[in-house]
Amino acid sequence: MPTFYEFFAGGGMARAGLGDGWRCTFANDFDATKASIYRENWGGEHLFEGDVAKIEVEQLPGEADLAWASFPCQDLSLAGCYRGLEGERSGTFWAFWELIRNLAREDRAPKIVTIENVYGILTSNDGLDFKAIATAFADAGYSVGAMVIDACHFLPQSRPRFFLVGARKNLAIPVHLQSDTPHTLWHPPRLLEAYSRLSDRVKRQWIWWDLPAPSAEVPTLVSIVEDQPMLVEWHTPAETRQLLAMMSAKNAAKMRLAQEAPGRQVGTLYKRMRVDEDGKKVQRAEVRFDKIAGCLRTPSGGSSRQTLVIVDGQRVRSRLLSPREAARLMGLPDTYNLPQKYNDGYKLAGDGVVVPIVAHLGRHLFGPLVRANAEAVLQAV
């Protein structure tokens, strides 16, 4: 059975995606609440609760087939003022990377290293953060490639995320796992532009990973809504009217169309600061009824929490998205134990990685890569 380390593990959502066919030998997270939920769902025998910078290489057992790292994204976005990899939180990537380098010095570097983060990593610090990470992989002896994968191909949520996958250069990479050219589904223009700025040396170690398109039917947004949600209350009619009053003419028109449509309509709404026609900043309620939820965001950093808008003809109800609904939007099963407090549950989901995306990578990239090299070793013997 292949093994993996899960750095910045949160509630263990990468572990959930890899499933029973993989064995976790080490995990870490510094957040006490997330660590507690990790233990509740997965056990804590392999969990180190603390800063990644305090991990000693001796704590990492054996030679893992995969190291996964969903390092903090705040400094790569507006919430962190775009400080990038020099920021206190996103800069923890370098502490993680030092562990990978130390493993390599002991001749037990992971066969595959994967990092996951926000789409903005491609442009933060004018692309220098992406260039620094890709160069670090190449310098450590990894062939490297990146993809942008949107959750909407698997779940009813708009959530494009950056995935960089490095394979140790001594690994044989099966032909069907790589392409001579980028794939429009996984390699959007912003990634191509970032790639163009890499050095020739790093480009020579670049791989256009070739994944199949997802084939499973995407669950509907209606199907994730709880009939009797926990930890949230329905807004009063007055509170719902206040939300409707905060809409621009464009968003009010979306509401009218939803009310005229047959059957129940489910939309999602975020409150955002916008500049009005007089140049003043005002708070607006922006709704979507395209059957896809907006990207989950944690309440920290000034982001609002996502609101559900349920329309049954002329009847309109609203409430916050529940933690269980947020977990469903990330692909966690209902058997997964969530925190007992609203903000803790919402944050755990919003900070996590989409479970079906990890499963797709495991099934179509990590697994075939590990198996191909295990077979090559057996044949050599």
The predicted-structure confidence for 200-231, as pLDDT tens digits, reads as follows 999 999 999 999 999 999 999 999 999 899 99
Percent of the chain at pLDDT above 90? 85
pLDDT computed for residue 81 by the predictor: 46
* Domain span including residue 155: 3-215+350-380
Same domain, 275 and 150: no
**Residues 197, 56 share a domain:** yes
Looking at the structure, tell me whether residues 296 and 354 fall in a common domain: no
Flag whether 332 is in a domain.
Answer: no
Residue in 101, 85, 202, 215 with CA at minimum distance from that of residue 143: 202
Contact (CB, 8 A) for 24 and 46: yes
Q: What's the predicted TM-score (pTM) here?
A: 0.93
> Do both 41 and 92 map to the same domain?
yes
Same domain, 161 and 295: no
Structure confidence by residue, pLDDT tens digits, 224-277: 999 899 999 999 999 999 999 999 999 999 999 999 999 999 999 999 999 888
Which tens digits make up the pLDDT trace of 145-175?
999 999 999 999 999 999 999 999 999 999 9
- Please check whether residue 98 lies inside any domain of the structure: yes
Q: Does residue 184 sit in the same domain as residue 271?
A: no
Give yes or no: residues 271 and 154 share one domain.
no
Residue 260 tokens, joined: 């005229």
User: What's the structural domain count of the chain?
Assistant: 2
Cα 85 from chain centroid?
A: 18
* 129 and 207 belong to one structural domain: yes
Cβ proximity of 100 and 109 under 8 Å: yes
Note the pLDDT of residue 376: 56
pLDDT exceeds 80 at position 298: no
pLDDT above 90: residue 87? no
Strand partners, 24: 4
Mean pLDDT, rounded, of the chain:
92
Q: Give domain status of residue 298, yes or no.
A: yes
Q: Which pLDDT score, from 0 to 100, does residue 73 have?
A: 59
Q: What is the pLDDT of residues 24-41, one digit of tens each?
A: 999 999 999 999 999 999
